[in-house]
Amino acid sequence: MRPKIAAGNWKMNGTAAALSELDALSRALPENPPQVVICPPSPLLFRATDAVHGCPIQIGAQDCHAEASGAHTGDISATMIADTGATHVILGHSERRDAYRETDADVRAKAQAAWGAGLTAIICIGESDAQREAGETLQVIGAQLDGSLPDGATAENTVIAYEPIWAIGTGKVPSIAQITEVHDFIRERLAARFGAEISDALPLLYGGSVKAANAAEIFAVENVDGALVGGASLKADDFAPILTALAQS
């Protein structure tokens, strides 16, 4: 049985005052909640881990450097993230791939650094609107998965998040058939590389305009084990219904 996971990516939003949402979220968790990971901006990591002490919410970061230390002004290492008490780190998000020109090789190196620090890597993959329209979705997803995921991936150190770029923050959501096709493809690709035992255990998340109104339908897809949620994770009132839908799926 794969774990159900809901990860919230706050992106570049929130100050210390926003951490009150963590307390509100902890009080709104459904019975038998899924695994919940909130990824705030890095300046909030220490305070966030303190804020969730004693409740089942975990904290993650939004990126890390591939090196453990060095002359990398403005960056944060996986070791530093682990030192805050965080347990996860998002890697390869499309916004990082686009704005910072991160390659699959960059993501792979960061994932290895995350594993070395004892963090779980949430590795993001996804196609653009142009790639979808050109019929290249599975080709793109396969190449990103092969290039971004290091050897040694297990259910303990890795989560895969499929986020079609054209659906992130746009309100557009792929059809259930499209989500099913990609998630089934990812599962099969993982099985071919790592074997059925590891593939069957690795959690696959869907991300891209997930909201309370569409969450239950998305979570009913066989190979969707949860969600990577952006804007709807900023407020407990918006995120809690998604968690409830996942818990009931």
Total domain count, the chain: 1
Concerning whether 93 is annotated as a catalytic residue, the answer is yes
List 93, 102, 127, 183, catalytic entry: 93
pLDDT in tens, 112-165: 999 999 999 999 999 999 999 999 999 999 999 999 999 999 999 999 999 999
Give the domain range for residue 81: 5-247
Closest to 90 in 3D by CA, of 120, 55, 47: 120
What is the reported pTM? 0.97
User: Cα dihedral angle (6, 12, 14, 15), rounded to 10 degrees?
Assistant: 130
What percentage of the chain carries pLDDT values higher than 70?
100
pLDDT of residue 143: 98
Question: Which position has the token pair 């590891």?
Answer: 198
Has residue 218 got a pLDDT over 90? yes
Has residue 1 got a pLDDT over 90? no
List 21, 127, 163, 183, catalytic entry: 163
Query: Sorting pLDDT into bands at 50, 70 and 90, what band is 170?
Result: confident
CA atoms 12, 15, 16, 20: torsion sign: negative
Q: Which residues pair with 226 in a beta bridge?
A: 5
Concerning whether 163 is annotated as a catalytic residue, the answer is yes
Q: Quick check: 59 and 49 in contact, CB under 8 A? A: yes
CATH for 137: 3.20.20.70
What percentage of the chain carries pLDDT values higher than 90?
96
pLDDT of residue 169: 82
Q: Which residues pair with 8 in a beta bridge?
A: 38, 229
Q: Which residues pair with 161 in a beta bridge?
A: 124, 205
Closest to 102 in 3D by CA, of 40, 147, 169: 147
Q: Quick check: 40 and 89 in contact, CB under 8 A? A: no
